[in-house]
Structure 1
Amino acid sequence: MAADVHQQIMPLERKFSLQDSPRSPTVLPWDRFSNWLHCACVVTFDLELGQAMELVYPGHVKLTEREKINICYLSFPDSNSGCMGDTKFHFRIRQCPGRKNHILAHDDFNRECPASLQIDNAYYYGYVYFRQTKDKSIRRGYFQKSLVLVSKLPFIPLLEHMVEIMAPEYFDNGEPSLEAACHDIDQWPEPTPGETLNLPLMGSVVQVRIPSRSDKVIGAVQTKTHTVPQIPVNHVLQSIHETDLFSAFQPVLQHLQLMWELVLTGEPVVVMASSPTLCANAVQALVSIIWPLKYCSDYRPYFTIHDSEFKEYTTKTQAPPAVILGVTNPFFAKTLQHWPNIVRIGETSGDASPRAVLKLKKSSSLKTLDSKPGVYTRYKPYLSKDKTILKRLSKGIQLKRPVEVQSAMLRRFLLELTQSFMIPLERYMASLMPLQRNISPHKGPPVLKPFNVEEFLKTLDHSGPQLTSGLKGDWIGLYRKFFKCPNFDGWYHFRQKEVNQKLQALHLEALCKEDLVNWVRDKQEVEIVDLVLRLKDKMISAQNNDIPVSMDIVKKLKCHLHSIISSLPEDLQSVLKTHL
């Protein structure tokens, strides 16, 4: 029998020997740097080559030719924008497939951060500081150069602040200053959700707090309080991810709810603006408009005709993909006029009022686009407009209320609107969970029941969004459209995984409470070995944080394993201990 058991174990031997080793505590040079940045790039203008990569730091970092080309073209404002002086913006590109740069700290971050902040390993962000000044010593007559921080992290305010510190120093003092800044970053702790971190950079200290999934949010204010060591801090970032919604949307505030619906339902949207800063901020604001729900389609804060996905996203032979593009080149006004939703962002003035923006453009206007700000769309909103928020924002403009306060009001309104939409979905999801009393250590862990759209829609009569929102309209129609878009799929798969992990944890706790040694006494050896292997699998998952349980549960599980193995015949004990 022991020989048969040995055959049963053998296919799993490699799996366990690879997974059961603890993570190495050794931190190598550039490990901590990689937690925050992939690399820093310097892009310059070459008379023969155009935009060209001058430097990648650290030198061991590899970028594919396609990635380099995309970074180069996206690191300069479009030639038609005429940006003089210093310009900051950001972009987002696809990482070329097949790259192996997996970072353990990013796995830990994704487990604990809010869903909408999770790192997507398929994409890089580029945080750009571009300088263009007249320089007679250069043959072209201009100094044109960008410092770009390439990162997987969607921390827009933080990374833009970092590049704002690093770039002027680099332009003035060259590569040694860039080396010094990167070595500072290589000393930083991991980006740990729930932690407040003091990050030294080039003689200053930036204080940030990384949001956690466990944060309770009321409006736009986090309810947790945090203490940090008392060291001199030069700059405290109030948020590492929130954008200035009011400034981004001021020219099109009348269409706020329309834009919320467009983003919620994954509609294709192109944002046209006069500069990469304006369009990048507007696209990022759109993506965050449905917080805390994660926007699950592709989006490009700044997109040019040189982008490697240009043909894919501008073809007229098929319907536009579910993507949000930010563009500045007037060429796109013609190329993308077949898109169903176009947002034009203009420069804002201090006395602009929500009432001063254009009315909604109907489909007949799409063929003759002018340059005025507005929303040009074929989309018919499902919900009535809330005029109260527009009046409050308009009054705030008249009273010269600070932009930060206007943005906070706007964010709270959008958060409550999204929560009103999501609460019925969360309530229905909770109803799909099995009862805790049905979780048995003698059976496999239960799983979530499947989501039934029609069954969910029937619940809206007594527990729909009308309980928390005063907005009238076709909520059912809006839900039906939402169910067909990537945002629903992303939310559902995330919640499904989260709930099933919780069920695994409850099942594990039930196993730990059971007298397993007594249970195996009358069982066949093959059954016992199967139980040992399953317990071992669960212990590895718990140690890797794939099942959210305390270390106390893991210790109890280990005790169960040792007790069960010790109760077996010596020859079988030896086989199990050798391989497990």
Structure 2
Amino acid sequence: MFPSVCFYPVFFHIQMLWELVLLGEALVVMAPSPAESSDTVLALVSCISPLRYCSDFRPYFTIHDSEFKEYTTRTQAPPSVILGVTNPFFAKTLQHWPHIIRIGDMKQTGEMAKQMKVKKLKNLKTLDSKPGVYTAYKPYLNKDEDIIKQLQKGVQQKRPSAAQNAILRRYFLELTQSFIIPLERYLASLMPLQKSISPWKSPPQLRPFIQQDFMKTLEKAGPQLTSRLKGDWIGLYRHFLKSPNFDGWFRNRRREMTQKLEALHLEALCEEDLQQRIQKHTEVEAVDLVLKLKDKLSQAEKEQMPVRPGTLAKLRAHIEAVILALPEDLQGILHKPSTPDL
């Protein structure tokens, strides 16, 4: 559940908060209680879903945590982490952090507009109890007034939290999807053509991600196709490509696509007439083929490769057929299970 209640004082900045989380910026959430601190941090982390937040986050951070000294030192820039805290002591020790969110209870709905200004960090000490966002960050995207009005109206009309949550979740989901689609489209173009996959050669490699080439695609196939928001999308992508979230997303997608290439290669191999091919080879080459096929089968099972149904059964049958075509002494050796390395 996306806890919209804890965002009442900062509704005006939800889009900026989405950018800060997307870019893996160092964020501190100062809240009145551990529950509100945890809810807010978890809501922030989930606001870029389905993109996975790849940096560290601590829903409830205390002075007893082992990283306390590291996070409060002023001699180095704060790491890419979201901290949730309640101890007033942190208002002083974390004052050097670039983005601080103050969460508090709303006294009355009419005060919302006053509490929504972005405040300068130097005011943090004197404004201990006032909710708001303390940062010098300038958002890349223009503010979406429609969502603000929709959420404010919900507060004024006492709309149920579940309904407010649903509005926020849908908004963030659409925003993140608009951002991810151009990346996914470009990544798909890096996949080798299926016709380039030969069963007797190693699977082809995914082409490299070239930032300049990706940026060129944004002019015609950028987020403007799915989002009404205006602003510096190019600047946002440039910043994102240097972030831990891009690194995590790209590593994961590259692994999935490499696995898909391995699966296509395996399927192509299973369509071959291996027995006919083996007749043209020596016994040594046949044994080598069996060992390679066994490795591929083991890898496919271990990694749960996305192959078509029946592919692995077909591969086992191929292996067996090749073994049976060999002399009995070799059959006995190849039928023995491989001994794991000690």
TM-score, length basis structure 1 = 0.56
| SS, match of residue 541 in structure 1 | helix
Cα distance in 2, alignment partners of residues 306 and 541 from structure 1: 44
Change beyond 3 A, Cα 1:353–1:565: farther
Deviation of 1:395 (Å): 1.5
Alpha-carbon distance in structure 1 between the residues aligned to 2:152 and 2:164: 10
SS of the residue corresponding to residue 460 of structure 1 reads helix
The aligned residue for residue 243 of structure 1 is: 2
Greater relative contact order structure (CA < 8 Å, 6+ sep): 2
In structure 2, relative to structure 1, the CA distance for the partners of 1:380 and 1:301 (3 Å cut) is same
- Give the match's secondary structure for 1:522: coil
Aligned equivalents of 1:308, 1:352: Cα separation in 2 = 42
Q: Please give the alpha-carbon distance, in whole angstroms, between the structure 1 residues aligned to 2:110 and 2:44.
A: 20
Count, aligned residues: 338
- Tell me if 1:345 matches 2:103: yes
Matching residue of 1:564 = 322
CA distance in 2, matches of 1:558, 1:337: 63
Inter-partner Cα distance in structure 1 for 2:215 and 2:125: 38
SS in 1 for 2:82: strand
Q: Percent identity?
A: 62
Q: What residue in structure 1 maps to residue 197 of structure 2?
A: 439
Structure 2: runs of 5+ lacking an equivalent: none
Report how far residue 553 of structure 1 moved: 1.1
Correspondence for 2:243: 485
Is 1:421 equivalent to 2:179 in the alignment? Answer: yes
The Cα RMSD (Å) is 1.7
The CA deviation string for residues 419-451 of structure 1, in whole angstroms up to 9 with x for no partner, is: 111000000010000111111111112231111
Task: Determine helix, strand or coil for the equivalent of 1:258.
Answer: helix
CA apart distance, 1:400: 2.1
Q: Distance in 1 between matches of 2:34 and 2:167?
A: 26
Q: Report deviation, 1:332.
A: 0.4
1:471 corresponds in structure 2 to 229
**Closer/same/farther in 2, CA of residues 320 and 451 from structure 1, 3 Å limit:** same
Q: Return the alpha-carbon distance in structure 1 between the equivalents of residues 113 and 168 of structure 2.
A: 16
Superimposed CA distance per residue, residues 76-123 of structure 1 (whole angstroms, 9 cap, x where no aligned partner)? xxxxxxxxxxxxxxxxxxxxxxxxxxxxxxxxxxxxxxxxxxxxxxxx
2:103–2:131 CA contact under 8 A, matched in 1: yes
Alpha-carbon distance in structure 2 between the residues aligned to 1:353 and 1:475: 32
TM-score, L = length of structure 2 = 0.94
How far is 1:328 from its partner? 0.5
Paired residue type of 1:273: A
Q: Paired residue for 2:156? A: 398
Give the corresponding residue for 1:302.
60
Partner of 2:143: 385
Maintained 8 Å contact 2:13/2:116: no
Unaligned runs of 5+ in 1: 1-241
Q: Which residue of 2 aligns with 1:504?
A: 262
Give the whole-Å Cα distance in 2 for the aligned partners of 1:553 and 1:559: 10
CA distance 1:480–1:385, shift in 2 (3 Å): same
Deviations 1:377-397 (A, max 9, x none): 121111100000011111222
Q: Aligned partner of 2:74: which letter? A: K
Higher relative strand content: 1
Q: Is the 8 Å Cα contact of residues 117 and 132 (structure 2) preserved in structure 1? A: yes
| Contact kept in structure 2, 1:512 and 1:560, CA below 8 Å | yes
Residue 313 (structure 1) aligned to one of 71, 77, 80: 71
How much has 1:471 moved relative to structure 2? 1.2
What is the rounded CA distance, in whole Å, between the counterparts of 2:196 and 2:109 in structure 1? 62
Q: Deviations over 1:253-274 (max 9, x none)?
A: 1010110010000000000011
Deviation at 1:312, TM superposition (A): 1.9
1:360 — aligned with what? 118
Query: In the alignment, residue 58 of structure 2 is paired with which amino acid?
Result: R
Tell me the distance in 2 between the aligned counterparts of 1:313 and 1:546.
40
In 2, distance between residues paired with 1:294 and 1:480?
18
2:279 maps to what in 1?
521
In the other structure, the counterpart of 1:430 is: 188
Per-residue deviation, 1:344: 0.3
Query: 1:350 Cα shift?
Result: 7.0
SS in 2 for 1:471: coil
Structure 2 Cα separation of the partners of residues 358 and 566 of structure 1 = 77
Paired with 1:329 and 1:437, the residues of 2 have a C-alpha distance of 61
Q: Is the 8 A contact 2:95 2:121 kept in 1?
A: no
More helix as a share of residues: 2
Superimposed CA distance per residue, residues 287-310 of structure 1 (whole angstroms, 9 cap, x where no aligned partner): 011011000000000011011121
